[in-house]
Amino acid sequence: MVVKAKCPICGGEVSLPDDVMAGEVVEHDCGIALEVVIENNIVKVKPLEGVGEDWGE
């Protein structure tokens, strides 16, 4: 079974495995990294916070 969520950036569908866990990071087709959040047994995704550009410094 696949869990579906909605990308908060582009509105597209995000397919997640049914054993997905809160805190997992997935990359969506639009190029954004999303963090999985589970609230009241509802799976959602939000933009990953705290990740900035790493310019090799």
DSSP one-letter code for 12: -
Give the pLDDT of residue 2.
Answer: 86
- Return the CATH number of the domain spanning residue range 2-47: 2.20.28
Domain assignments of the chain as residue spans, ordered by start: 2-47
Strand order in the sheet with 25-27: 25-27, 33-39, 42-47
pTM of the entire predicted model: 0.79
CA distances from 52 to 9, 14, 29, 56, 57 (A): 17, 23, 19, 12, 12
Q: What would the pLDDT profile of 1-55 be if each residue is shown by its tens digit? A: 789 999 999 999 999 998 999 999 999 999 999 999 999 989 999 999 865 555 5
